[in-house]
Amino acid sequence: MLFNQYYLECLSHASYLVGDETTGRAVVVDPQRDIAEYLADAEAHDMSIELVIETHFHADFLSGHLELARATGARIVYSSVAQPDFEFMPVADGEVHSLGEVTLEFRHTPGHTPESMSIVIREHADDEHPWGVLTGDTLFIGDVGRPDLLASIGFSREELADMLYHSLHDKILTLPDQTRVYPAHGAGSACGKNLSEELWSTIGDQRRTNYAVAAPDEETFIALVTEGQPPAPGYFGYNADLNRRNRELLDEGTPPEPMTWDQMVEACERGAVLIDGRDPEEFATGHIAGAVNIGLDGRYAEFAGSVVQPHDEIVLMIEPGEELQAKNRLARIGFDRVLGYLDNPFAAMIEHADQVRRASRLTAPAFAEIRPELGEVQLVDVRNPGEFEGGTIEDATNIPVGQLPGRLNELDPERCTVVFCAGGYRSSVAASLLRRNGFDDVSDIIGGYEAWRELVQPA
């Protein structure tokens, strides 16, 4: 059996290529939208991809099922409960698909979503114990899928949590302890609240260590998995819907178009968002007025999807040579309206120095020292509620960065504003967004709350 796991750190997303080396037949499960790696690996192992299997309609990324189907002729597979707008192969609960020696058993495991399913893999059809199970967003390492993302479209979180409990105990935990567990996400994903950094586990380990699996009864389980979930980024609903649709395909090999300064200015005057993909330190030393800082080295697509609207036009300000990567990473969440990138960006900034701004960044000790002189400073903690509850700076208001666009009216643009996160990435996103929206006196804290705890609180 060929088994490849692909892991995108920036979206905490795992996908899989499973093939039978005796027949050369293979499937891809939960693919990312840019598909070149799957195609290259299948070709390298002389495999033909015949199915593209989706465990559910994903909310946190735009899947590559349509791109793979077009490239390979593979059929797209969903649970028979699903109702996408395109042609697909529905599979029933308990249905088995043979690749030759390798077999795949589909088990309906609703809860995270109504159409969720898991895939039990046997290396040989007559093996007594399964080799592993691909659990999608039903069972994670250390957690289970959150049941609240569909609460607004016909299912309460309690109803989905009830489904999830029975899916786990009646469909997944019936597998032997040695069965390998491979989920669709890891630590950092907003699809759960306690995901491990480990990329696989076993059923036995999850029985022993997973807080949700260990719940003594259904009532306790529902209470555990419906409380304390992180806020879902704003693009989740857009992606969940788009994954059902027959949409345009990604051309992952063609970079965006270069733009002159005047073209960039004209686009921004029409409402396009200028995304500066440099790291916060470089952004602070000089950036184009009105740019939003979302560093390409971080969770670029996720935070773009948190502070930019899906139908906004986008212009990229990016290090030369990184234009295609930036475009494709935005495309992974369906943000396809990239008009282009500013050509020769640093020369353009020098030529138009009157439109370049510096960003105020404060060390934690410096902020502690000058805070008494700032008067009634507006201090905003842009971390998630769970982080905020674990400790924050005195008198801070918690507005997670993904909620900031919809809660700007809670803040006074005339007041001195200081924002912070855990380490400085999210705070730069937030501070730049505030400046774009008319907040003139904005700083963020270098190193965030971790620096505050280490350098200020002990004193």
Say which CATH number the domain at 22 has: 3.60.15.10
Domain identity same for 110 and 184: yes
Question: Is 262 contained in some domain?
Answer: yes
The whole-number pLDDT of residue 452 equals 96
Strand 292-293: give its sheet, edge to edge. 258-259, 338-342, 314-317, 273-276, 292-293
Give the residue from 316, 334, 357 where a domain finishes. 357
Give the residue from 195, 217, 242 where a domain finishes. 242
The whole-number pLDDT of residue 227 equals 83
Residue entry with tokens 């979930």: 229
The whole-number pLDDT of residue 152 equals 52
Domain identity same for 55 and 87: yes
Tens digit of pLDDT at every position of the chain (459 positions): 999 999 999 999 999 999 999 999 999 999 999 999 999 999 999 999 999 999 999 999 999 999 999 999 999 999 999 999 999 999 999 999 999 999 999 999 999 999 999 999 999 999 989 999 999 999 999 999 988 876 556 788 889 999 999 999 999 999 999 999 999 999 888 777 778 899 999 999 999 999 999 999 999 999 999 887 778 888 999 999 999 999 999 999 999 999 999 999 999 999 999 999 999 999 999 999 999 999 999 999 999 999 999 999 999 999 999 999 999 999 999 999 999 999 999 999 999 999 999 999 999 999 999 999 988 899 999 999 989 999 999 999 999 999 999 999 999 999 999 999 999 999 999 999 999 999 999 999 999 999 999 999 865
Domain identity same for 135 and 156: yes
Question: Is 37 contained in some domain?
Answer: yes
Interatomic CA distance for residues 88 and 63, integer angstroms: 14
The pLDDT tens digits for 193-231 are: 778 899 999 999 999 999 999 999 999 999 999 887 778
Question: Is 326 contained in some domain?
Answer: yes
The pLDDT tens digits for 352-406 are: 999 999 999 999 999 999 999 988 899 999 999 989 999 999 999 999 999 999 9
The whole-number pLDDT of residue 153 equals 65
Number of domains in the chain: 3
Question: Is 408 contained in some domain?
Answer: yes
Domain identity same for 335 and 414: no
Domain identity same for 343 and 366: no
* Given the residues 191, 268, 416, 421, the one annotated as active site: 421
Domain identity same for 141 and 98: yes
Question: Is 199 contained in some domain?
Answer: yes
The whole-number pLDDT of residue 223 equals 92
Domain identity same for 282 and 417: no
Domain identity same for 92 and 134: yes
The whole-number pLDDT of residue 442 equals 98
Neighbours of 387 (CB within 10 A): 18
Question: Is 251 contained in some domain?
Answer: no
Domain identity same for 164 and 229: yes
Domain identity same for 119 and 143: yes
> CATH number of the domain that 409 lies in?
3.40.250.10
Domain identity same for 337 and 424: no
Domain identity same for 65 and 128: yes
Give the residue from 291, 323, 357 where a domain finishes. 357
Q: 421 catalytic, yes or no?
A: yes
The domain containing residue 282 runs over which residues? 258-357
Question: Is 253 contained in some domain?
Answer: no
Question: Is 252 contained in some domain?
Answer: no
